[in-house]
């Protein structure tokens, strides 16, 4: 790992309502400090416990049979193995699974397991709901109900491995479930380092991807403190359109975002992924493709085109396949590495942008630009929407 080890103050480590430490929320350095300095255990105990958590995926301290009985009893009193509980598992016809988890708070969050020919990807949540209010996203309609702790994030991976061990290792983790991961960096960044830790889950840093709507200061922090890869949801090519589709753009407009991407530290051969949800008649014209080419000048990146997954109540439609193909062909002709993401799991509401349930109090819908109001049959704006300073 290149990023420095994470060692948070002891009072910032995740605990449950009874004060018990949630072990899957600790980096290996933090586990070592607790076991050795606080409990007076010998250092080799750290590796033993780490392996029980992330190689054997046990659910209780009783199963950690190479620990002394006394230590196991102490751990039962002071700590917990699992941070979340399985609520339900839904299987889509293509093999994709949506797993819902229950938190101690009673809130439900979701992960999606996507097996394919050469990889198994797990899409995980970082918050309950989301504050970003992207106009095309179902999670955005929930508003923000809370941040997940590091343990609640890591445990989605550990318990999914335990449940689906027979299907092979999870090779890729994407922070693209519920929530804006970089709105919760204090918990997400340690979680990325626990997932990448070579003595535990051992995921390659290239296979752990944090996807953001564009929180610029936190992008910089991710680059300094984590080894994970970066993906950014672009979804529009002008500030006017992005101010509407992704209100975070009012705070960090395209020029500022692109500058942050140019400065993001990358290892040899790594590239940033730019996600682009294709919305019919909104952002799928060849003019948009031309503007992308200009925007990404000097940004080492690839573009992933995502067919929009409709949900109930949305005003957006999926771009026709021919238009998506034409978009890709144009970008490829300008030497932009471009892929089209296949839609998976959409018959069980497990596809991208379909996670969560809208609350009774939905965040305010943003006023679209005048040209879009006509296209989508919405109310025309009465005045220009404000930009934040």
The runs of H, that is alpha helices, within the chain are: 28-32, 44-54, 69-78, 150-163, 185-196, 216-225, 239-245, 254-263, 286-295, 321-333, 370-376
Our CB check for ligand SF4 shows the closer of 35 and 234 to be: 234
Tokens 């995980």, residue? 124
Q: What angle do CA 227, 230, 234 make, to 5 degrees?
A: 170
Question: Minimum distance from CB of 214 to ligand SF4 (Å)?
Answer: 9
Given the rule CB under 6 A, which residues bind ligand SF4? 130, 132-134, 137, 139-140, 179-180, 213, 233
Our CB check for ligand SF4 shows the closer of 75 and 248 to be: 248
Dihedral (CA of 311, 317, 322, 328) sign: negative
Beta 172-175 vs 144-147: how paired, if at all? unpaired
Our CB check for ligand SF4 shows the closer of 140 and 307 to be: 140
Which of 130, 137, 301, 352 is catalytic? The answer is 352
**Does the annotation count 110 as an active-site position?**
yes
| CA dist 146 → 94, 167, 180 (Å) | 31, 32, 11
Q: How far apart are CA 36 and CA 11, in angstroms?
A: 17
Our CB check for ligand SF4 shows the closer of 137 and 216 to be: 137
Our CB check for ligand SF4 shows the closer of 189 and 248 to be: 248
Q: How far apart are CA 32 and CA 202, in angstroms?
A: 18
Q: How far apart are CA 151 and CA 149, in angstroms?
A: 5
Question: Minimum distance from CB of 141 to ligand SF4 (Å)?
Answer: 8
| Token pair in block for residue 266 | 């990358």
End-to-end alpha-carbon separation of the chain, Å?
37
Question: Minimum distance from CB of 131 to ligand SF4 (Å)?
Answer: 7
Question: Minimum distance from CB of 325 to ligand SF4 (Å)?
Answer: 24
Our CB check for ligand SF4 shows the closer of 99 and 178 to be: 178
Question: Minimum distance from CB of 99 to ligand SF4 (Å)?
Answer: 17
Question: Minimum distance from CB of 5 to ligand SF4 (Å)?
Answer: 29
Contact predicate 114/121, CB 8 Å: yes
Which of 41, 110, 218, 275 is catalytic? The answer is 110
State the CB neighbour count (10 A cutoff) for residue 299: 18
Return the percent helix, strand and coil in the chain, to nearest 5. Answer: 35, 20, 45
Q: Which residues are catalytic?
A: 110, 352
């Amino acid at each position: 790992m290149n990023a420095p080890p994470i060692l948070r103050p002891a009072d910032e480590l995740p605990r449950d309502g009874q004060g018990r430490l949630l072990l899957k929320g600790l980096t290996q350095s933090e586990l070592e400090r607790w076991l050795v300095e606080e409990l007076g255990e010998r250092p080799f105990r750290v590796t033993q416990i780490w392996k029980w958590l992330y190689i054997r995926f046990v659910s209780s301290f009783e199963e950690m049979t190479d620990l002394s009985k006394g230590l196991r009893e102490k751990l039962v009193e002071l700590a917990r193995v699992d941070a979340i509980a399985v609520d339900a598992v839904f299987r889509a016809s293509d093999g994709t699974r949506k797993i819902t988890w229950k938190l101690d708070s009673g809130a439900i969050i979701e992960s999606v397991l996507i097996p394919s020919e050469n990889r198994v990807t797990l899409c995980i949540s970082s918050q309950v709901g989301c504050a970003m209010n992207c106009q095309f996203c179902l999670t955005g309609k929930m508003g923000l109900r809370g941040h997940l702790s590091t343990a609640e994030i890591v445990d989605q991976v550990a318990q999914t491995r335990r449940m689906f061990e027979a299907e092979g290792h999870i090779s890729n983790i994407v922070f693209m479930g519920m929530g804006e991961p970089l709105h919760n960096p204090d918990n997400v960044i340690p979680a990325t380092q626990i997932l990448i830790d070579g003595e535990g889950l051992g995921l390659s840093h290239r296979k752990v991807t944090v996807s953001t709507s564009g929180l610029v200061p936190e992008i910089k922090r991710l680059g300094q403190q984590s080894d994970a890869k970066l993906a950014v949801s672009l979804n529009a090519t002008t500030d006017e359109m992005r101010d509407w589709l992704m209100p975070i753009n009012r705070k960090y407009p395209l020029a500022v975002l692109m500058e942050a991407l140019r400065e993001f530290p990358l290892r040899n051969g790594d590239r940033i992924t730019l996600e682009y949800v294709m919305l019919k008649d909104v952002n799928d014209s060849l003019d948009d493709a031309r503007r992308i080419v200009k925007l990404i000048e000097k940004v080492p990146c690839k573009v992933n085109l995502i067919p929009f997954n409709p949900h109930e109540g949305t005003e957006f439609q999926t771009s026709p396949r021919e238009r998506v193909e034409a978009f890709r062909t144009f970008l490829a002709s300008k030497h932009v590495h471009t892929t089209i993401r296949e839609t998976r799991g959409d018959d069980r509401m497990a596809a991208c942008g379909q996670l969560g349930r809208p609350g009774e109090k939905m965040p305010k819908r943003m006023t679209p630009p005048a040209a879009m109001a006509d296209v989508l049959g919405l109310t025309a704006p009465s005045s220009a929407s404000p930009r934040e300073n």
